[in-house]
Amino acid sequence: MKYVIFLVLLALVPGLLIAQDESKYDLNFSGFISYESIFDTRQTVSAREGDVLIFPSRVLEDLNGDDINAQPNFNMFAIHSRLKADVSGPDIFGAQSSALLELDFLGNSDPVISLVRLRHSIIKLDWDKSSLLFGQYWHPMFVTSSFPEVSSWGGGAPFAAFSRNPQIRFTYDLSDNFTAAFIALTQRDFSTTGPNGGSPDYLRNSAIPEMNLHLVYQNKGWNLGTVVGYKVIKPRLANLNGEKLDETLGSWHTNGYIRKDWSDLTVKIQGLYGQNMHNFLMMGGYGEFINNQNNEITYKNSEIISFWTEWLYRNGDLTYSVFGGYSENLGFTDIPGSNDSVNFYGRGSDIDYTYRFSPRLTLEVEKFQIMGEIMYSVAAYGSTQPDGTVSDTEDANNVRFQLHLKYSF
């Protein structure tokens, strides 16, 4: 019932705005209807009933030596269809005011798939050289001016960071070509995992928002930038003896990217280093080291590096594109002691590296797109060592064939 009420209120927004002052507000609706069909040659580690592909599943042999996970699967989706409302309003505090509300139908977890989900919800104030943004929007590690425009959902994860977060963002134009943004944020749908599963509580209980700095240079088709961020989590409030625990974990993440646009060609390159990157749909996390003699708990980050590139060539209504990505597990920042037992909280603790190569073809006529994409993905599974690295690996590979149709309005 709450979703019905919400949609009714949304439908009344135009009338409410017009009733206030027709000359001050401009409301525009847009969005798209999306259809996908996918075929995978084996089982996968994924989200949303297989739609968001992360890794191929590891080789799992039965008593006869047959790989149980070597089972193809097929599915169709329309859950990514989207509705967006943009509002332009009057000047507030000398700034141009605007707002955005965007919904889709993914739910915020697999058990509630197809339900309405809040995607973006922001208020923005724009001055001549600065702006303030409040609400839920892309994490700065997901660079809106240079991200993988792949047909498959997930925005290039697990090779590119993918997350949306409640935040406050201050942006300032240092010159005509150079911009700096400072962002303080928390977690919601994309959250850190820990002893109680995935939850935004670990960041909340540190009582410190995640902080990020984003620097951008743009000139003559060039877009260069870097993001540096730091977050602190508190996985447990009490130790195994029921005593108050003050132990926290601080984690760094950073990227550097280049985009160059020519008349018919676009090239993007990005490199990334991160600690405890589970909340970005990437490999990594952290280790909980428990001393077996006194139950003392400490935390150590799991580190990863990642690289991706994308090339797009436009020829009339057709765009020929290719995406490639590579990510590697670097292990823990410290080695557990001889008396320590280790709990790993994260993703891909038994994967040494993973990579993907995916060409695609897009036909765009007016606001109708037909996209075909082939994704070849490999994950090297093996034995996790005490330092968090992985050895004695065996590759698992998957080929995904995807057809994606989109009608925008």
- Residue 110: per-residue pLDDT: 79
What is the H or E stretch that residue 366 is in?
none
pLDDT in tens, 350-409: 999 999 999 999 999 999 999 999 999 999 999 999 999 999 999 999 999 999 999 999
Is 160 part of a structural domain of the chain? yes
Residue 142 included in any domain: yes
Whether 331 and 346 have beta carbons less than 8 Å apart is answered as no
Q: Which residues, 6 or more positions from 202, have their beta carbon under 8 angstroms from its beta carbon?
A: 191, 192, 194, 233, 234, 235
Alpha-carbon distance of 158 to 355, in angstroms, equals 9
Q: What is the pLDDT of residue 8?
A: 44
Neighbours of 254 (CB within 10 A): 17
Task: Evaluate whether residue 112 is within a structural domain.
Answer: no
Render pLDDT for 269-319 as a digit per residue (tens, 0 to 9): 999 999 999 999 999 999 999 999 999 999 999 999 999 999 999 999 999
What's the whole-number mean pLDDT along residues 222-249? 96
CB 250, CB 276: distance < 8 Å: no
Per-residue pLDDT at 37: 97
Contact 175, 286 (CB under 8 A): no
Q: What is the pLDDT of residue 22?
A: 58
Burial group, residue 326, by CB count within 10 angstroms (0-12, 13-18, 19+): middle
Judge whether 357 lies within some domain.
Answer: yes
Whether 19 shows a pLDDT value over 90: the answer reads: no
User: What is residue 259's predicted lDDT score, i.e. its pLDDT?
Assistant: 98
Q: Which residues contact 17 (CB under 8 A, 6 or more apart)?
A: 25, 27, 87
The per-residue pLDDT of the chain, averaged, comes to 94
Q: Quick one: which of 111, 55, 56, 49 has its CA closest to 80?
A: 49
The string of pLDDT tens digits covering residues 309-348 is 999 999 999 999 999 999 999 999 999 988 999 999 999 9
> What pLDDT score was predicted for residue 3?
52
Query: Looking at residue 114, what is its pLDDT?
Result: 84
Report residue 15's pLDDT band, with 50, 70 and 90 as the boundaries: low
Question: Phi and psi of 111, rounded to 5°?
Answer: -60, -20
The answer to whether residue 5 scores a pLDDT higher than 80 is no
23-72: pLDDT as tens digits: 688 999 999 999 999 999 999 999 888 899 999 999 999 999 999 999 99
Domains: count for the chain:
1
Q: Is residue 286 domain-resident?
A: yes
| Domain enclosing residue 341, as ranges | 32-78+126-408
CATH assignment at residue 141? 2.40.160.10
Is 98 part of any domain? no
Per-residue model confidence (pLDDT) at position 111: 81
pTM: 0.91
Q: Who's near 371: CB < 8 A, 6+ residues apart?
A: 151, 360, 361, 362, 363, 402, 403, 404, 405, 406
Q: Which has the higher per-residue pLDDT, 338 or 140? A: 140
pLDDT of 17 over the 70 cut: no
Q: What is the pLDDT of residues 107-127, one digit of tens each?
A: 877 788 889 999 999 999 999
What pLDDT is attached to residue 130? 98
**Residue 346: inside a domain:** yes
Residue 200, pLDDT > 60, answer yes
Determine the Cα–Cα distance for residues 169 and 122; give it in Å rounded to an integer. Answer: 11
Tell me if 336 is assigned to some domain. yes
Stated as kind and residue range, the H or E segment containing 20 is helix 2-21
State the DSSP code for 202.
H
Looking at residue 9, its pLDDT comes to 47
Is the pLDDT at 21 greater than 70, yes or no?
no
